[in-house]
Structure 1
Amino acid sequence: MRIAVADDSMLTREGLVHLLTGQGHDVVGQADNAAELVSMVDVSRPDVVIVDIRMPPTHTDEGLVAARHIRSVYPRVGVLVLSQYVEPSYAMRLIEDRPGGVGYLLKDRVFDVAVLVDALRRITEGETVVDPTIVSRLFRRRRTADPLDALSKRATEVLGLVAEGLSNHAIAARLHITERTVESHITKAFLQLGLTDDPDSHRRVLAVLAYLRHHATKPGREDI
């Protein structure tokens, strides 16, 4: 993969570059601010970019804004945003723009090279990746009434793993059930959410959004 890395911390950037090049990937550029990242993508057109949400000058959401711009202008470029905090509202803002080819992971997780490379691979294949810590934290929150309340505990658990970006095969292995059972639970969730069987509708991504909305009771930062 051809990858661009943007983070205002030199140590984080260099650490990511070291991990990626050690796995044989081509890091086409590094940036320490969002504007530089956008300019880099204009020139190098990487397969995927890795960007911290909080970038200079205000360290609020500059990285997210840049990620959304890149996805809008270059929809074939995947985006993996990083954060030190559980911020589901930011994840939803990114996913809602253009389903598929995006990911949101906590920074601590990406220094596990297997997790990082797997997330980037899935993003370049058009999948959506959401950090399991975010999913599990939201899963424990008190829920408000919505269509997902009608799902069984197991179906909701399956949907939570879909939100992490796991395939049906991986979900079956995790829960020690058959893939046919996984498919049945996911189909029930789709029907409950009113998601059609249109291949262009990105039903898994829309289900992830529904799941995140279902559990995110308020926007903003939640420290880990």
Structure 2
Amino acid sequence: MPSYEPSVVVADESPLLRAGLTALLARGGYQVVADAADAEALVQAATDTLPTLVVTDARLGSGPDDEGIRAALRLHEKVPEMGIVVLADTVETTYAAAVFAGTGTGGLGYLRKSRVRTIPHFFDVVGRVASGEVVVDPEVISQMLEASQDADPEAIARLTVRQSEVLGMIHAGFPNRAIISRFFSGRRQFEQCLSEMFLAFGLSGDVEHRRTPTLLTHLASG
């Protein structure tokens, strides 16, 4: 739990889920100062209260599927030091790339809901983003790397032999645990390899300017 009480704005179109997130965050030592059901309400609430971070669903209201992400990006431009966690039902690499292209100093998280499996896991993610880190599900990174490989074959030359082997296994559909077992002594080394590949493919944006102890901090995957 955090040593102080960070403030949070929660956004989800479901009143039930907003209430659940509010109660959960309160248990973890966070103060929910506002909630919102749509993108405009989220931007207004966060602008008015200037919370430590925002936790939002990728989809808000009856508009396009990325309304929550668009609202998060608007907030990141307005208040660059604000942390933002986006919770998504599916991996959308275009949206993820837009999130990481920002130049603010606030932490950023882009997570697939189904892979946030435990409450401690969720609090670990939220705490890291509140501290200014970038947190992203390895599945998101894998798909972004694949998309970049297709668009920029010359990027392959920037990979080491090990990175090329890892990317090959990702393309072949091997689960992360199988890749770790074959090439690494632990998950942390695998995550560092993904970070380096992320940078090699030019997907880092201005992440080097963020307040993070490492360039990218990845979620543990199944």
Query: TM over 0.5: same fold?
Result: yes
Distance 1:112 1:192, change over 3 A: closer
Distance 1:153 1:124, change over 3 A: farther
Shift of 1:153: 5.2
Q: Work out which of the residue numbers 6, 9, 13 in structure 1 matches 2:14.
A: 9
| Alignment coverage as a number of residue pairs | 189
Between the aligned partners of 1:72 and 1:204, the Cα distance in structure 2 is 21
Please show how residues 1-224 of structure 1 align to structure 2 within 5 Å.
Answer: 1-98=6-103, 101-110=107-116, 112-136=118-142, 143-144=149-150, 145-152=153-160, 154-155=162-163, 157=166, 175-176=184-185, 200=209, 204=215
Contact 2:159 2:200 in 1 (8 A): no
Percent identity of the aligned residues? 28
Shift of 1:33: 0.8
Between the aligned partners of 1:57 and 1:187, the Cα distance in structure 2 is 38
Counterpart of 1:58 in 2: which secondary structure? coil
Gaps of at least 5 residues in structure 2 are: 1-5, 168-179
Gaps of at least 5 residues in structure 1 are: 159-170, 209-224
Contact 1:109 1:116 in 2 (8 A): no
Q: TM-score with structure 2 length normalisation?
A: 0.68
Q: TM-score with structure 1 length normalisation?
A: 0.67
Alignment RMSD: 3.9
Contact 1:5 1:49 in 2 (8 A): yes
Moved over 6 A (4+): 139-142, 179-189
Distance 1:155 1:2, change over 3 A: same
